Structure 1
């Protein structure tokens, strides 16, 4: 008996010194917790939790989501703290026997800090794209600005020649206004992209692609790269639109870099769509020559890049995968096909 008590105390000490929170559940009720869990949930003592229903602190996601962390698979859930704050977490559940009774031991890892760092990384990646975006804006504004300058010059000449009519002024004023509206719309598109977006909004996969091309399409045109989009519109999904735009921009820019590095003639990107009962897919296929199999297996690894340090950080595709699989209830995969690569973005309903 004394020996069992010693073993129990030793086990308790071990559990209280783990980083993970531990919950022992019997018939749905909390029978025991360790110190880490009390700290994670901002309680002061275990008595505040013991005897309560486990569902009072553990909230499963609407769809069972599983993520890999340190090569182990965990279920993603939310926790409710004492002050009713909801925090992200991952859990691992194991069936055990205590005092001849069947129980569940739930290991809980608080993901708040990791999620915050991930969100920061996504924002930093977005800011890193700003330089290229400014370049794109410059391209999209150059032609309207040149035209407005040309209209102003023509009007000045008409004034000097005393040949200016009210009709011409009205016509040219309308032209200038149209160009200014176009330039204003360009700024709105980019400003919306850089605004943090917390709420999910209904959006179709086709409109996501169309909005992406509005933003960066000119830079592809300038390099003679064709983007062919299948005109297929499926039902709207609730998504973080700006994050999905970031994924599409990253993937398309990767293709553009491959075209330029390899000097591909008749460069082409095909974007198509599909819908099944529980998900939709965006297919992005290029003809840039594909990726060798040993590299293909590593492209979603953080800090892995085939570009020079000047041109790549190795975080672009890692962030894309994080956005799709951890923020958007989806899957991102890539494979070689005929003469290029095929990215598949699967978005669950």
Structure 2
């Protein structure tokens, strides 16, 4: 399905929505409800504006649209809408009316009425008006759903990268634990200590204590690694106040073994002291994504000296992070496309094409900052600016 098809709203989109319908004429109400049911629409009926307002206030989270007449006892339709607009400025509203006065049209515009249908009601005109009215809400829901799907895909992709990083982090301590346990076993099997003497007993105790201390140290190292990764994937989303340097350092802590094993040098100049409001794990997600892309590029285009520079500094109202790598830069023909969803230069390596899109979303929508990229020298720089408190 292409983008144009995704954005098309049809009668099928009316199925399973819930409409609050206010109409004081019982026969018209009954006939209209039957028509709405034919479209698959659920209807909550009110006999006047006051009853409609009460039903809305009690069930607003379940109501997708308002359909109402103007003239009703106790509270007219426009007054009902005016009260509803005090708590919900965007719920779609369609009015059925036999009136076409200028005053009504002006008031309906002021109340953000989506459409109106003249009486006697034409079924197809009503259907088309409902489709037109619900369209912005459906498109918004689809965009939110698409964004959530991309976020999930991005997190799964990052999780795969994290598993590789855990392997790098764990390789050395696991090897050290294996060596220590082998030495203990070997010393026992070969009777290297003379346990008939106090000196031999003391020597064995000292050796065992040393090796067990080593094992304990490396187990703690493994536990700390697990905690680092578990904290990164915590689902709770809380604003924290801190400098940008800490999430950068935590990101490097997670990825350092992978970078070292690939002979990639990281140079940092973290000079920012500004306190900023951030979602820390989201910022780490962005940093790790940029570092991973740099590493992938280095591995694809072998280079003798591979280097990443990370600098932070304070400007007047912002904190700036520059991440530069000397991996040759990004082709000028695609550099303007790299933040678009599903655009990837790594398709042969199962690149998702959503990492940089999500990074830009995190920085610009969730943090009201800016994420830009430009080529310089023999590499590329990603620049992040975040507002300070």
Q: Same fold per TM (> 0.5)? A: yes
CA separation in 2, counterparts of 1:249 and 1:43?
Answer: 43
Q: Residue 170 of structure 2 aligns with which residue?
A: 141
Please tell me whether residue 114 in structure 1 is matched to residue 143 in structure 2: yes
Q: Residue 167 of structure 1 aligns with which residue?
A: 206
Q: Residue 25 of structure 2 aligns with which residue?
A: none
Q: Residue 363 of structure 2 aligns with which residue?
A: 324
Query: What are the equivalent positions in structure 2 for 1:1-349 lying under 5 Å apart?
Result: 44=66, 47=78, 50-51=81-82, 57=88, 110=137, 111-160=140-189, 161=191, 163=193, 165-349=204-388
CA separation in 1, counterparts of 2:336 and 2:255?
Answer: 28
CA separation in 1, counterparts of 2:281 and 2:291?
Answer: 15
- How far did residue 294 of structure 1 move? 1.9
- How far did residue 193 of structure 1 move? 1.5
Give ranges in structure 2 of 5+ residues lacking alignment.
1-13, 15-59, 69-76, 93-104, 115-134, 194-202
Question: Is the 1:279–1:346 Cα contact (8 Å) retained in structure 2?
Answer: yes
Q: Are the structure 2 counterparts of residues 248 and 55 from structure 1 closer, same or farther at C-alpha, using a change threshold of 3 Å?
A: farther
1:14-37 deviations in Å (ceiling 9; x for gaps): xxx9xxxxxxxxxxxxxxxxxxxx
1:216-245 deviations in Å (ceiling 9; x for gaps): 121111111111111324233221111111
CA separation in 1, counterparts of 2:332 and 2:306?
Answer: 22
CA separation in 1, counterparts of 2:244 and 2:91?
Answer: 33
Question: Is the 2:245–2:272 Cα contact (8 Å) retained in structure 1?
Answer: yes
CA separation in 2, counterparts of 1:106 and 1:223?
Answer: 61
- How far did residue 132 of structure 1 move? 2.4
RMSD: 3.1
CA separation in 2, counterparts of 1:106 and 1:260?
Answer: 57
- How far did residue 200 of structure 1 move? 1.6
Give ranges in structure 1 of 5+ residues lacking alignment.
1-16, 18-37, 59-78, 82-97
CA separation in 2, counterparts of 1:286 and 1:106?
Answer: 53
CA separation in 2, counterparts of 1:106 and 1:270?
Answer: 55
Q: Are the structure 2 counterparts of residues 299 and 40 from structure 1 closer, same or farther at C-alpha, using a change threshold of 3 Å?
A: farther
- How far did residue 80 of structure 1 move? 10
Question: Is the 1:203–1:241 Cα contact (8 Å) retained in structure 2?
Answer: no
- How far did residue 106 of structure 1 move? 10
Question: Is the 2:65–2:91 Cα contact (8 Å) retained in structure 1?
Answer: no
Aligned length: 276
- How far did residue 99 of structure 1 move? 6.4
- How far did residue 112 of structure 1 move? 4.9
Question: Is the 2:82–2:111 Cα contact (8 Å) retained in structure 1?
Answer: no
Q: Are the structure 2 counterparts of residues 138 and 106 from structure 1 closer, same or farther at C-alpha, using a change threshold of 3 Å?
A: farther
- How far did residue 301 of structure 1 move? 1.2
Which has the larger displacement, 202-211 or 175-184?
A: 202-211
CA separation in 1, counterparts of 2:279 and 2:91?
Answer: 24
Q: Are the structure 2 counterparts of residues 255 and 178 from structure 1 closer, same or farther at C-alpha, using a change threshold of 3 Å?
A: same
SS state at 2:386 partner: strand
CA separation in 2, counterparts of 1:322 and 1:106?
Answer: 32
- How far did residue 317 of structure 1 move? 1.1
- How far did residue 148 of structure 1 move? 1.2
In terms of fraction of residues, the more strand-rich structure is 1
- How far did residue 291 of structure 1 move? 1.6
CA separation in 1, counterparts of 2:234 and 2:142?
Answer: 22
1:24-76 deviations in Å (ceiling 9; x for gaps): xxxxxxxxxxxxxx999757566466445977546xxxxxxxxxxxxxxxxxx
Query: Highest Rg: 1 or 2?
Result: 2
TM-score, length basis structure 2: 0.63
In terms of fraction of residues, the more helix-rich structure is 2
